[in-house]
Structure formats: structure tokens, C-alpha cells
């Protein structure tokens, strides 16, 4: 078994689907969580100066989608059949396109919140509504592709998780509820035994991480 280390910040973001895939696949890994203020200390060591990264026996790899697909294959969460794999890729890349569009908006301009609102008005029906329709075409569910959980489901789960947590002030949970297939897919992941275990584990770690970050602030 290779020595695997996943490095990201101490929130779900672009790493949570990877963490869940490793957990579901029972692949041992070191879950390294950094405070954003720590990034400059390691930036020169990162292939593209950003996170997440995956270290496999000391060699570092980057890009969340590439890492997720690699881990998915190792965990048995990526289909061998080519068309099924294509569908899984479509789901993941659609969600990434949705998030990347948001992340590309300039936060330093006065019109930022108006820009976010315009983006969501146009992009929620296009990406989330479109994806919900595609999942209905793929099957009755609850899983996104086929009759078992895959990394596509994990990507959907994290997307819905962020929206329900209020990550986007102008996008309410009610706007996602109407997308039946997205909702049922996310619920199926949430009820997976290893996801339940993982969420309990994360909750227990949260207090310790909060204390660590508080101590870092106090030493400045």
C-alpha cells in the first residue's frame, strides 16, 4: 500500500470528494489540513502553487479532478466501462465548471455581489438544472451513474453540501431542493455508512483545529 498524503485547507472545498473517496475505499491516508495563512510557507513546493495536492510515496501531484479520478480508480469508485466513465466525467466536470465560473469573478470590484447574482441567475439553471436533467436521463437513481456509488456522487454531494451550508449568500438551499435527482443523489451519499463515520470524525477534529488556529493568531 503506497504512502498517501492529501494536503488542503481545513474545509471541504476541492478536497472533500477526494477525502470521501479515500475513506469509502478504505485507503489509508494522511489528511493534512492547513490554514490559508500557511500556504506561503509551502507554495514553492507545490507544482502550481495551489492546493489540493496528493503525495504518493513522496511524489506530489496536483489538480483536484485529476486526483479525484486517480483515487476513484484506486477505491473502486470509477467505472471500468468506457461510456459509464464518460458519464462520471461529465458530472464532475459540469460541477467544476459551475464552481470555476464563480471563482473567476473579481472579488475586488464594487460590482462583485451584482456579478455573483448575475452569474447565479444564468448558471444555476444551466449547470445545476442541466445536470439534474442529465442524471434523470442516466437513470432513476439514487446514484448518478449506474447502480452503485461513484466519484460522481461525491462531487454532487459536496456541491449540494456547500449550497445547503450557505456558502453562496445569493443561492438558497430551496433552489436546490427542486432538483430532485441532485437532491436524492446527495442524500444517498450522506447516508452511506462510511460518510457518516467520516462526518463524525471531522466534527471531532474541528474543535482541535479551531484551537490550533486560535493559538496561531495569538502568537502573531
Instruction: Write out pLDDT tens, residues 19-65.
Output: 999 999 999 999 999 999 999 999 888 999 999 999 999 999 999 99
pLDDT at 172: 61
pLDDT at 213: 65
82-190 folds as Glutathione S-transferase Yfyf (Class Pi); Chain A, domain 2 (1.20.1050)
pLDDT at 22: 98
What pTM was computed for the model?
0.88
The edge-to-edge listing of strands for the beta sheet with 53-56 is 30-34, 4-9, 53-56, 59-62
Average pLDDT over residues 162-179: 67
In the chain, where the domains are located: 82-190
Query: What percent of the chain has a predicted confidence (pLDDT) above 70?
Result: 89
Average pLDDT over residues 8-24: 95
pLDDT at 212: 67
pLDDT at 195 over 90: yes
Lowest mean pLDDT segment, chosen from 74-78, 127-131, 176-180: 176-180
Cα separation of 102 and 105, whole Å? 6
Longest dimension (CA), the chain: 55
Cα separation of 170 and 166, whole Å? 9
pLDDT at 168: 62
Amino acid at each position: 500500500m503506497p504512502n498517501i498524503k492529501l494536503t488542503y485547507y481545513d474545509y471541504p472545498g476541492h478536497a472533500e470528494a477526494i477525502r470521501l473517496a479515500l475513506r469509502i475505499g478504505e485507503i489509508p491516508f494522511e489528511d493534512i489540513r492547513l490554514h490559508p495563512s500557511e500556504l506561503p510557507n509551502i507554495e514553492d513546493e507545490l507544482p502550481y502553487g495551489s492546493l489540493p495536492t496528493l503525495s504518493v510515496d513522496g511524489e506530489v501531484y496536483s489538480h483536484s479532478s485529476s486526483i479525484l479520478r486517480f483515487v476513484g480508480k484506486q477505491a473502486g469508485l470509477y467505472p471500468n466501462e468506457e461510456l459509464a466513465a464518460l458519464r462520471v466525467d461529465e458530472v464532475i466536470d459540469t460541477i467544476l465548471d459551475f464552481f470555476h465560473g464563480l471563482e473567476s469573478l473579481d472579488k475586488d470590484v464594487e460590482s462583485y455581489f451584482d456579478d455573483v447574482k448575475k452569474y447565479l441567475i444564468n448558471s444555476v439553471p444551466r449547470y445545476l438544472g442541466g445536470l439534474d436533467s442529465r442524471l434523470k436521463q442516466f437513470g432513476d437513481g439514487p446514484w448518478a451513474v449506474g447502480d452503485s456509488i461513484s466519484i460522481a456522487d461525491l462531487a454532487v454531494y459536496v456541491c449540494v453540501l456547500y449550497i445547503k451550508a450557505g456558502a453562496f449568500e445569493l443561492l438558497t438551499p430551496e433552489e436546490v431542493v427542486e432538483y430532485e435527482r441532485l437532491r436524492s443523489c446527495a442524500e444517498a451519499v450522506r447516508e452511506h455508512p462510511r460518510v457518516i463515520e467520516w462526518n463524525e470524525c471531522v466534527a471531532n477534529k474541528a474543535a482541535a483545529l479551531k484551537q490550533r488556529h486560535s493559538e496561531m493568531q495569538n502568537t502573531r
